[in-house]
Amino acid sequence: MRLATSSLSWKIGLTLGRYLPPRVGYALSDMIAAILTRTKSDLSWVVYTNQKAVHPEADDAYLWRVTRQVFREAGYSYYDLFYALTRKKSRNVEKVYFDPAFLEAREMGLQANRGIIIVSGHISSFDIPALAYAQRWTELQMITYPSPLSGHREQNAWRSAGGVIATPTGMPALRQAVKRLQSNGIIITGIEWPDPDAIVPVEFFGHLTKLSLGHVRLAMETGATIIPVYCLRRAPMYYEMHLMGEPLRVRPGKDRRRILKTAAEQLLPGLEGVIRQYPELWFMFHPLWSELLPTGVPHDI
């Protein structure tokens, strides 16, 4: 896992995206997915366990099949991203489809003049639609996973070069986000990142877990509009961004814990529905329910 998140792996990926044709890149993704699943790697157990929480009634055969599909689809999406990043003008960016319902919600949010927080689960690849958005309209700030490893830092540098300013979770990122929202700017972040330091657990797929609440906190402090979306990879090099639910404004109040929990849980059912419909596109490679992991599998993957 450390190799997969290293600077070396990112450089290898860029090299493969530059020189391998799509047919070969996708075949390589199939092979890696098969190896990760067949060997019952720690990472495959994380995906398996997360999927089991989504489909508690499913048998082992189904869960391992979906686990392999997750790795395969993630490989396809990463190849598409590497392909796009190593070309000055890529069809990936040109072919991204933005749902008119999302664009309408965006316009209404901008008219409120308090900024917009676009939130999504880890459904398919968010990078290509985000880069397409930045190229078509305006720069974005993406709040990413804290304490990035070398591979994450490389990825964040490429994001920032494309107009998606990547800032790892922390006080500097939050201060920058507040300033951007006060200028009616746009923030992007995920809503199901595990966060053991969250002040209150939330219910997700019927289990309590601690997830990042930064998006809700930002909305409460700035009056920004939260717009929930999800992204799909519909075909090779073709992505879509859709509205995932109604835009949300979070009103401040004295009971901060209750407000944070209530607002976060208003957004999660929409994500649950998307994950149930597209389980193979849920690229969550961190354990959300560590207590469900088999004995011996690390909880900090």
Give CA 126 to chain center in angstroms: 6
Please state the rounded mean pLDDT for residues 33-54.
Answer: 95
Say which DSSP state 211 is in: B
Residues present in the chain in total: 301
Q: Which of 118, 147, 122 lies closest to 233 in space, CA to CA?
A: 122
Residue 99: other Cβ atoms inside 10 A: 15
Q: Alpha-carbon distance 106 to 119, whole Å?
A: 12
Dump pLDDT digits (tens) for 166-201.
998 888 888 999 999 999 999 999 999 999 999 999
Domain residue limits, the chain: 7-89, 91-281
Written as one letter, the residue type at 1 is M
CA distances from 99 to 31, 34, 96, 241 (A): 33, 34, 10, 6
Q: Which of 191, 208, 192 lies closest to 200 in space, CA to CA?
A: 208
CB 191 within 8 A of CB 212: yes
Q: Alpha-carbon distance 226 to 57, whole Å?
A: 33
Reported pTM: 0.92
Q: Where are the alpha helices (DSSP H) in the chain?
A: 7-19, 22-38, 42-54, 60-85, 91-94, 100-111, 127-136, 150-161, 171-182, 214-222, 256-277
Say which DSSP state 184 is in: T
55: left (phi over 0), alpha (psi -120 to 50) or beta: beta
Written as one letter, the residue type at 151 is G
Q: Alpha-carbon distance 81 to 136, whole Å?
A: 17
Say which DSSP state 147 is in: S
Please state the rounded mean pLDDT for residues 34-62.
Answer: 95
Provide the 3-class DSSP secondary structure of residue 139: coil
Structure tokens at 132: 């397409």
Dump pLDDT digits (tens) for 93-138.
558 999 999 999 999 999 999 999 999 999 998 899 999 999 899 9
DSSP run (H or E) holding 230 = strand 225-235
Dump pLDDT digits (tens) for 195-243.
999 999 999 999 999 999 999 999 999 999 999 999 999 998 899 999 9
